[in-house]
């Protein structure tokens, strides 16, 4: 029986159709006579005529489409039959005035890559998912019914670029399935809870890392077919690993087969010269104030969660959307109606996006990469916020990496770079991110940012990673940092896994795994991440000694003491005030065995009536468990 799609058409034009991928693109449907036909649909409001061209008709203008709504939905039904594996290609030939151009399908589920700019006729497989246990388990990470969701589970993210994580010896890509079979057990063994994939949606240029996309509904064909990507996600879930995908709603590439001036006019992009293009990136900005673009993007976010079981999105370049003057000089932007630099269309879009996502999936993550101090980013929409789950804490990353790059002799003058993050740590829900952006474009690798000689760099990185793990906030680390790759990340070649065969790198590799598992096993480091209830300074302003000491609390009141010596000198008998009498036993350290257990003494310090004396090696960190045990006589 023929289905009436008038509701879908209406909602699409209203910007409230969030399953647009079920209507647009290529589908098999029943016509008026009950016969199964292949239907092509696209949105091109200013096109004069459109033809579907491809391998099946010799790329001729023999399959014209009909405009079926006043606001630009085009459709054609055909007897064309295809099966997966045929790899038949197609495009839309669009005419506008005397111009003719060929476009890939914006809703295609499988696209060519690099020079293969056409879309493929492809039916998404009826994949046999067996990740039900994971999907049920992820619901336990969120405490519902609050105005600020409490993420009571640990989140430790391993960021991956699939094209350079690992390659064959001849330099060719591994497939999604090969990558899954390597990554899943590796990430589980290393103690990460999630992976975050740099953009997987189809993109022509390797060097864009996926951030300049063309095929927003198509996982890149570099590594295989959509069914293979489903296998990848399923494999991660079977190992208990969540999958976050980098998602780019801000902008798209200017490759001619993509969305740029799709129907011969400014269609998917903003129409004003002040907004339509990001000149530095060489991309076009999505017009998120246009209803059909809202349907396209919000449907896309839900598509990855529905069809591919993605567990969350890291939303790229949020600041570029929120600010009208982002990366623009005076005179290059037009203020909002109130004279401000706020993009009120983008604000409304993010509220709409997050409301739609959490209305369908209450247990996924929406993480904003937002580089300013935009208020209430992670507050719920109903409370006046933008509705994200988390935002990247760019300030923490910038401050701490600057601090660890300094000669310890000069660290006393910039001690606030270690402590300042706690001034705002609970204003938002944060992910502490050491991402791909910090190890590329001349910035050097993470280990090379550390001060000192060869050995000191490894000591410094162990101390840094431990500080990040103990600091409030969820965690993210880019691939290769876990074993100290010295070479800056290069997206065109594999990580240097051979480095793990060297003693210092192997030891760091094992240390990172041990630290990750320690984090997972100690709820004090994550159960109260979002408020002062989970944190207390003991030693905050001793800049002269380059130290920091604090407590982290679990919901049951138990705590651990985290002590850091950021200097290059050994500190023996370093006095730290403590709140409770008893034993403080070292349970994790960058230099194990330096001090097994210390007992509180009735010596006032740091505003407490009790204190302990710690022996801290240079560039070290130690974590102590408290027990109310008296010293044996």
Residue 144 domain flag = no
Residues 390 and 498 in one domain: yes
At residue 144, the pLDDT reads: 44
For the chain, how many structural domains are there in total? 3
Residue 255 domain flag = yes
Residues 102 and 214 in one domain: no
Residue with tokens 């010896």: 169
Task: Please check whether residue 478 is in contact with residue 197, taking contact to mean a CB–CB distance below 8 angstroms.
Answer: no
Is 369 one of the catalytic residues? yes
Q: Are strands 547-553 and 559-565 parallel, antiparallel or unpaired?
A: antiparallel
Give the count of alpha carbons within 13 A of 125, CB side only. Answer: 12
Residue with tokens 């403080």: 584
Q: 199-202 long-range CB contacts below 8 Å, 24 or more apart?
A: 199/245, 199/246, 199/247, 199/248, 199/316, 200/162, 200/229, 200/245, 200/246, 201/247, 201/248, 202/111, 202/113
Tell me the pLDDT tens digit for each residue of 419-461. 999 999 999 999 999 999 999 988 999 999 999 999 999 999 9
Q: For a pLDDT cut of 90, what percent of the chain falls above it?
A: 89
Residue with tokens 């036993």: 585
Residue with tokens 């580089």: 371
Among residues 525, 558, 590, the one where a domain terminates is: 525
**What average pLDDT does the segment 321-334 reach?**
94
Residue 133 domain flag = no
Q: 546-554 long-range CB contacts below 8 Å, 24 or more apart?
A: 546/408, 546/411, 546/412, 546/415, 547/571, 547/574, 547/616, 548/418, 548/419, 548/467, 549/576, 550/470, 551/579, 552/470, 552/472, 552/524, 552/525, 552/528, 553/524, 553/528, 554/523, 554/524, 554/527, 554/528
At residue 34, the pLDDT reads: 80
Q: Which residue in 8, 316, 399, 606 is the catalytic one?
A: 316
Is 345 one of the catalytic residues? no
**What average pLDDT does the segment 146-162 reach?**
79
Residues 600 and 498 in one domain: no
Among residues 473, 501, 525, the one where a domain terminates is: 525
**Helix, strand, coil percent content, the chain, rounded in steps of 5:** 30, 25, 45
Q: In this model, does residue 147 exceed pLDDT 90?
A: no
Q: What range does the domain containing 555 cover?
A: 533-627
What span, in angstroms and rounded, lies between the C-alpha atoms of 472 and 159? 19
Q: In this model, does residue 618 exceed pLDDT 90?
A: yes
Q: In this model, does residue 630 exceed pLDDT 80?
A: no
What span, in angstroms and rounded, lies between the C-alpha atoms of 284 and 387? 25
At residue 31, the pLDDT reads: 79
Tell me the pLDDT tens digit for each residue of 9-36. 999 999 999 999 999 999 988 877 788 8
Task: Please check whether residue 461 is in contact with residue 484, taking contact to mean a CB–CB distance below 8 angstroms.
Answer: yes
Minimum mean pLDDT among 292-301, 555-564, 589-598: which range? 589-598
At residue 30, the pLDDT reads: 83
**Residue 22: CB atoms within 10 Å:** 16
Residues 552 and 514 in one domain: no
At residue 594, the pLDDT reads: 64
What span, in angstroms and rounded, lies between the C-alpha atoms of 439 and 489? 6
Q: Average pLDDT, whole number, for the chain?
A: 94
Q: For a pLDDT cut of 70, what percent of the chain falls above it?
A: 97
Residue 420 domain flag = yes
Residue 575 confidence class, pLDDT cut points 50, 70, 90: very high
Residues 506 and 555 in one domain: no
Residue 632 domain flag = no
At residue 142, the pLDDT reads: 64
Residues 330 and 216 in one domain: yes
CATH of the domain at 18: 2.60.40.10
Residue 188 domain flag = yes
Residues 571 and 450 in one domain: no
φ/ψ bin of 114: left (φ > 0), alpha (ψ from -120 to 50), beta (otherwise): left
At residue 146, the pLDDT reads: 46
At residue 593, the pLDDT reads: 74
Residues 519 and 538 in one domain: no
Residues 433 and 313 in one domain: yes
Q: In this model, does residue 150 exceed pLDDT 80?
A: no
Q: Which residue in 369, 459, 586, 606 is the catalytic one?
A: 369
Tell me the pLDDT tens digit for each residue of 515-538. 999 999 999 999 999 899 999 999
Residue 3 confidence class, pLDDT cut points 50, 70, 90: confident
Tell me the pLDDT tens digit for each residue of 40-50. 999 999 999 99
At residue 138, the pLDDT reads: 86
Task: Please check whether residue 519 is in contact with residue 154, taking contact to mean a CB–CB distance below 8 angstroms.
Answer: yes
CATH of the domain at 562: 2.60.40.1180
Among residues 75, 100, 120, the one where a domain terminates is: 120
Residue 138 domain flag = no
What span, in angstroms and rounded, lies between the C-alpha atoms of 422 and 427? 10
pLDDT higher for 349 or 5? Answer: 349
**What residues pair up with 535 in beta bridges, in sequence order?**
552
**Residue 357: CB atoms within 10 Å:** 23
pLDDT higher for 85 or 255? Answer: 255
Residues 577 and 600 in one domain: yes
Q: In this model, does residue 148 exceed pLDDT 60?
A: no
Q: In this model, does residue 224 exceed pLDDT 90?
A: yes
At residue 632, the pLDDT reads: 67
Residue 392 backbone phi and psi in degrees, to 5: -70, 135
Residues 540 and 487 in one domain: no
Residues 380 and 427 in one domain: yes
Residue 125 domain flag = no
CATH of the domain at 487: 3.20.20.80
Residue 81 confidence class, pLDDT cut points 50, 70, 90: confident
């Amino acid at each position: 029986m023929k289905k009436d799609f008038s509701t879908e058409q209406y909602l699409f034009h209203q910007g409230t159709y969030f399953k647009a991928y079920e209507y647009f693109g290529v589908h098999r449907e029943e016509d008026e006579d009950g016969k199964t036909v292949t239907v092509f649909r696209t949105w091109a409001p200013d096109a004069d005529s459109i033809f579907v061209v491809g391998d099946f008709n010799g790329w001729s203008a023999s399959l014209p489409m009909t405009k079926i709504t006043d606001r630009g939905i085009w459709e054609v039904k055909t007897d064309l039959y295809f099966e997966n594996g045929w790899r038949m290609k197609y495009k839309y030939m669009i005419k506008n005035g005397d111009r003719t151009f060929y476009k890939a399908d914006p809703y295609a589920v499988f696209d060519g890559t690099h020079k293969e700019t056409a879309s493929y006729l492809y039916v998404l497989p009826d994949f046999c998912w067996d990740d039900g246990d994971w999907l049920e388990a992820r619901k336990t990470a969120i405490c519902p019914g609050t105005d600020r969701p409490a993420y009571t589970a640990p989140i430790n993210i391993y960021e991956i670029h699939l094209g350079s994580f690992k390659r064959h010896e001849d330099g060719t890509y591994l497939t999604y399935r090969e990558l899954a079979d390597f990554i899943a057990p590796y990430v589980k063994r290393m103690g990460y809870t999630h992976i975050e994939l740099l953009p997987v949606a189809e993109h022509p240029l390797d060097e864009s890392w996926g951030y300049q996309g063309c095929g927003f509904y198509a996982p890149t064909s570099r590594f295989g077919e959509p069914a293979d990507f489903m296998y990848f996600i399923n494999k991660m879930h079977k190992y208990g690993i969540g999958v976050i995908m980098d998602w780019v709603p801000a902008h798209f590439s200017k490759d001619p087969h993509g969305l740029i001036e799709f129907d011969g006019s400014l269609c998917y992009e903003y129409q004003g010269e002040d907004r339509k293009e990001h000149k530095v990136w060489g991309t076009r900005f999505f017009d998120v104030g246009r209803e059909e673009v809202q349907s396209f993007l919000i449907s896309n976010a839900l598509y990855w969660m529905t069809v591919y079981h993605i567990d969350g999105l890291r939303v790229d370049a949020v600041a570029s959307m929120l600010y009208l003057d982002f990366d623009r000089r005076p005179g290059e932007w037009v203020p909002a109606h109130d004279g401000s630099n706020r993009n009120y269309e983008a604000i409304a879009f993010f509220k709409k996006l997050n409301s739609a996502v959490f209305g369908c999936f209450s247990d996924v993550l929406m993480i904003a990469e937002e580089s300013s101090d935009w208020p209430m980013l992670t507050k719920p929409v109903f409370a006046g916020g933008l509705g994200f789950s988390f935002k990247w804490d760019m300030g923490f990353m910038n401050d701490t990496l600057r601090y660890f790059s300094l000669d310890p002799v000069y660290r006393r003058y910039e001690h606030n770079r270690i402590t300042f993050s706690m001034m705002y740590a609970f204003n938002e829900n944060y992910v502490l991110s050491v991402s791909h952006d910090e190890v590329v474009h001349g910035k050097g690798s993470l280990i090379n940012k550390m001060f000192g000689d060869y050995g000191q760099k490894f000591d410094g990185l162990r101390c840094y990673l431990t500080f990040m793990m103990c600091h409030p906030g969820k965690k993210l680390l880019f691939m290769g940092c876990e074993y100290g790759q010295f070479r800056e990340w290069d997206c065109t070649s594999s990580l240097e896994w051979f480095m793990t065969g060297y003693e210092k790198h192997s030891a760091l590799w094992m240390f990172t795994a041990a630290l990750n598992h320690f984090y997972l096993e100690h709820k004090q480091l994550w159960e109260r991440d979002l408020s002062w209830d989970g944190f207390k300074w003991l030693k905050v302003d001793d800049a002269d000694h380059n130290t920091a000491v604090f407590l982290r609390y679990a919901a049951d009141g138990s705590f651990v003491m985290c002590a850091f010596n950021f200097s290059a000198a050994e500190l023996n008998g370093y006095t730290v005030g403590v709140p409770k009498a008893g034993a403080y036993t070292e349970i994790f350290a960058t230099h194990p065995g330096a001090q097994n257990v210390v007992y509180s003494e009735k010596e006032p310090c740091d505003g407490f009536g009790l204190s302990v004396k710690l022996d801290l090696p240079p560039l070290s960190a130690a974590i102590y468990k408290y027990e109310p045990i008296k010293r044996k006589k």
